[in-house]
Amino acid sequence: MYLPMLASADAVEINGIYYNLTEDTKVAEVTSSKPNKYKGKIKIPESVEYEGITYTVTAIGAYAFYICSDLTSIIIPQSVTSIYEHAFNGCKGLVSVTFTNSLAYIGRYAFLNCSSLTSLTIPNSVTEIGEAAFEGCTGLQSIVVENGNSVYDSREKCNAIIKTCDNELITGCMSTTIPNGVTAISSRAFYNCYNLSHITIPNSVTSIGKTAFYGCKSLLSANIPDKVTTIEEETFGACEALRSVYIPEGVTTIGAGAFSSCWHLTSVTIPSSVTFIDSWAFSGCEKLKDVYCYAEEVPNIRDNPFLNTNIENVILHVPAASVSAYKIVRPWKTFKEIVGLTDLDEYHPLLEEGKVWEYGYNNGVNPYMKRLTIGGDTIIGNQTYKKIVNYRYETFEMALREEGRKVYCYYPNQNSETLLYDFGKNAGDIINKEIKNGATWIRKVISVDTIMLKAKLFRCMTVHEYCIPEGMSEDEYLGGNYGYNSGIWVEGIGSLSYLDTPIDYPGNYYSFHQYRLDGMTFKQKDILELIANDIQPKKAVNRVNHNDIIYDLQGRRLQGEPHKGLYIQNGKKILK
């Protein structure tokens, strides 16, 4: 702990800068210029002379430049070893600060709300950085910790400050990429980072501190790793751009205000492991439409987690056996409707470690089998992707990432990503629409249904792609007898053409053969047989009473109850 010096007399002004002087030790500390404010460019000298005595400038005192909004740059000399709390708090015009390699201590809130700073270099001499020292530096794009620092690092050019011994990220910015191996994100690490739009939290993270992402109003999505057990107080509060939140299995507690004032949030998924939801956890989420809560026992709450969220307009989805329990407990009973969860509410992710896809390749000359699998994580830009590699040769084919029910693809030779799949769409929805060389390309969902694989329901979609020539309207093209390419998507499996080819294009020699996961094999012929029996163009099913659905012994869905024979209903075999 570094403590500010005790001045022996009132501050003195020397060449426009005020100092507290300590005659015994011959040291000086820069202090406030009240009632006037420092402005413009300031260069602090290594030493000053006063009444015949030379003093070494060793510190910048607490609140020394407090709210000096017209200060634009500061040069700190080699002699300074400490910058105390709130020293530059509110210096909104400060665009440049230069540290030297004798600086050891930066106090809490030292550069709070210095919103014009764009880059930051921490010398290898710094051994202590106080809480939220750079909070509110919303313009920061680059953070570098010099090599050789014994306490902090910015490994893998992550644009963040990481406490090395704890693998704890303590300060981030709009350009941060959180490296694998980081285990904790400190409280307030991204507090009010207005320009942060995307962040991928690696699975190595086990804890995220209070208000870590509070006020990140441009943040569009945020994943919560499986090892996190508690979502702390206001961790994602006031993240206004968030549209959906998926809380993973293993989380037991959702803290006070954890997702409060997320105004655009429409969907929340709460896992079965949650036992406690604290006050105002989802307060002020005015656009919320659906809450999917998998907890069979009604979670304990404090006060009202849904205060000012208009839950009388929200549908609550809970385990079917627990509907009656939720209907008698506040605030749950005040939801617009409480319905039983269906198998369709459970999403089967595409990207799971250990999954192997197999594709047949036949160009009429050299038929062979190609196997793809997931080869770990790779970071591109500020996103974490799964590497898709050739199972045999371990060559890098593509990178995929999954966000909700959407899957994005990034090829090694490209500089941008493409939306590959969207398993959240319904019949009639447009997935992609873009202009290429004057023509309009539209990818549209034609039908959505379900098939049963290994006793589980999987969403299955028929997708068409149209190329509308320049000068022709969309209605004219779709109303005429024009051609299109077609694809079949199966949730958790992907396209039945090729993994990164969601539509079956003429000349594409690859076709899906099977995929394997956890000892289970899903073959194309079985899937196609189910699709041939099940898929008919019709409206997507939003909620299904699965007690009324009937299957034959091969898992195929029947259109009605058979007149005789053996069939399955509500999980039981029935003989007529």
Per-residue pLDDT reduced to its tens digit, 96-108? 999 999 999 999 9
Upper half-sphere CA count for residue 116 (Cβ side, 13 Å): 16
More confident residue, 9 or 345: 345
Confidence of residue 345 (pLDDT cuts 50, 70, 90): confident
CATH class of segment(s) 183-341: alpha beta
More confident residue, 380 or 233: 233
Residue 535 confidence (pLDDT): 42
Task: Tell whether the model's pLDDT for residue 259 goes beyond 90.
Answer: yes
- The secondary structure of residue 155, as a DSSP letter, is G
More confident residue, 549 or 186: 186
Instruction: Find the mean pLDDT for residues 361-365.
Output: 66
pTM of the model: 0.67
Those residues with Cβ within 8 angstroms of residue 91's Cβ, 6 or more apart along the chain or in another chain? 65, 67, 68, 69, 71, 111, 113, 114
Q: State whether the Cα torsion 4-9-10-12 is positive or negative.
A: negative
Residue 362 confidence (pLDDT): 66
Write out pLDDT tens, residues 278-330: 999 999 999 999 999 999 999 999 999 999 999 999 999 999 999 999 999 99
Buried-exposed string 524-552: b where 16+ CB fall within 10 A, e elsewhere: bebbeebbeebbeeeebbeeeeeeebbee
Residue 160 confidence (pLDDT): 98
Instruction: Find the mean pLDDT for residues 350-355.
Output: 83
Residue 6 confidence (pLDDT): 40
- Give 540-559 as a 3 state SS string: CCCCCCHHHCEECCCCCEEC
Task: Tell whether the model's pLDDT for residue 562 goes beyond 70.
Answer: no
Write out pLDDT tens, residues 183-225: 999 999 999 999 998 787 888 999 999 999 999 999 977 778 8
Residue 339 confidence (pLDDT): 94
Please report, rounded to a whole number, the percentage of residues in the chain having pLDDT higher than 90. Answer: 52
Instruction: Find the mean pLDDT for residues 90-94.
Output: 97
What does the alpha-carbon distance between residue 69 and residue 458 come to, in Å, rounded to a whole number? 58
Task: Tell whether the model's pLDDT for residue 35 goes beyond 70.
Answer: yes
Domain 1-178 and domain 183-341 have a common topology = yes
Q: Report which of 123, 195, 134, 117 is spatially closest to residue 169, judged by C-alpha positions.
A: 134
- The secondary structure of residue 427, as a DSSP letter, is T
Residue 555 confidence (pLDDT): 45
What does the alpha-carbon distance between residue 48 and residue 300 come to, in Å, rounded to a whole number? 63
What does the alpha-carbon distance between residue 83 and residue 95 come to, in Å, rounded to a whole number? 18
Inter-residue contact 399 to 378 (CB < 8 Å): yes
Residue 8 confidence (pLDDT): 37
Tokens of residue 235, six digits: 């961790």
More confident residue, 416 or 402: 402
Inter-residue contact 254 to 247 (CB < 8 Å): yes
Tokens of residue 355, six digits: 């999954």
- For all residues of the chain together, what is the average pLDDT? 86
Confidence of residue 574 (pLDDT cuts 50, 70, 90): low
Inter-residue contact 290 to 317 (CB < 8 Å): yes
- The secondary structure of residue 4, as a DSSP letter, is P
Which of 166-175, 337-346, 495-504, 559-568 is predicted least confidently? 559-568
Helix (H, G, I), strand (E, B) or coil at 259: coil
Task: Tell whether the model's pLDDT for residue 177 goes beyond 50.
Answer: yes
Tokens of residue 218, six digits: 């441009």
* Domain residue ranges of the chain, discontinuous segments joined by +: 1-178, 183-341, 356-543, 545-576
171: which strand partners? 161
What does the alpha-carbon distance between residue 129 and residue 171 come to, in Å, rounded to a whole number? 10
Q: Report in angstroms the alpha-carbon separations of 369 from 10, 355, 498.
A: 83, 16, 12
Task: Tell whether the model's pLDDT for residue 255 goes beyond 90.
Answer: yes
Those residues with Cβ within 8 angstroms of residue 472's Cβ, 6 or more apart along the chain or in another chain? none
Residue 28 confidence (pLDDT): 98
Q: Which CATH code for domain 1-178?
A: 3.80.10.10
